[in-house]
Amino acid sequence: MTMARHRCRSAALGAALATTLGALPTLYALAVRSMLRRNLGRLRASDPGPLLDSYADNVHFVFPGRSSWAADLRGRDEVERWLRRFVQVGLQFEVHELLVAGPPWNTTVCLWFTDRLTAPDGEVVYANRGTILAKIAWGKVTYYEVNEDTQKVAEFDEWLASHEVTRA
């Protein structure tokens, strides 16, 4: 092989490697989005298990406010109780936008969502929209904070107090 041919082959391999490495962040973001959409879809189907499995053992969860939903929880077990209440009440969670940025050891996720509860008679008794900021390290959620209209959450508490809500 001539020296010129060797250089061309090396340059082509270098360009292919650079293209592949350049695509990795995009592929990683797609994988994270896919995992979250799948897990949140399972939550919507009343199965919080896959979402809980994606949490680090020492996950930190924050839900600001002064309602019964307000929380500053540490650890998967504490967050599981909160999520199981969410499912038991029958809240429905819908993601509208999901942004993912950063490397696998320090990934930032932002979700724009709505959540709602529809009574058996079809009346929407609670509807809110908000954002979630989350941090993920090596595929495990280490931190997330939910921000939505806390006045609507407090009004929802009042509705829950006057209605017995249980799901099978």
Q: Which domain holds residue 47?
A: 3-162
Q: Tell me how crowded residue 15 is: count the other CB atoms within 10 A of its CB.
A: 10
Residue 168, pLDDT above cutoff 50: no
> Is 22 or 114 the better-scoring residue by pLDDT?
114
- In a domain, residue 63? The reply is yes
State pLDDT tens for residues 33-55. 999 999 999 999 999 999 999 99
Asked if residue 101 is part of any domain, the answer here is yes
CATH classification at residue 91: 3.10.450.50
Q: pLDDT tens digits for 48-84? A: 999 999 999 999 999 999 999 999 999 999 999 999 9
Number of domains in the chain: 1
CB-count burial class (<10 Å; 0-12, 13-18, 19+) for 165: middle
Percent share of the chain, pLDDT over 70: 83
pLDDT above 90 coverage of the chain, percent: 79
- Is 168 part of any domain? no
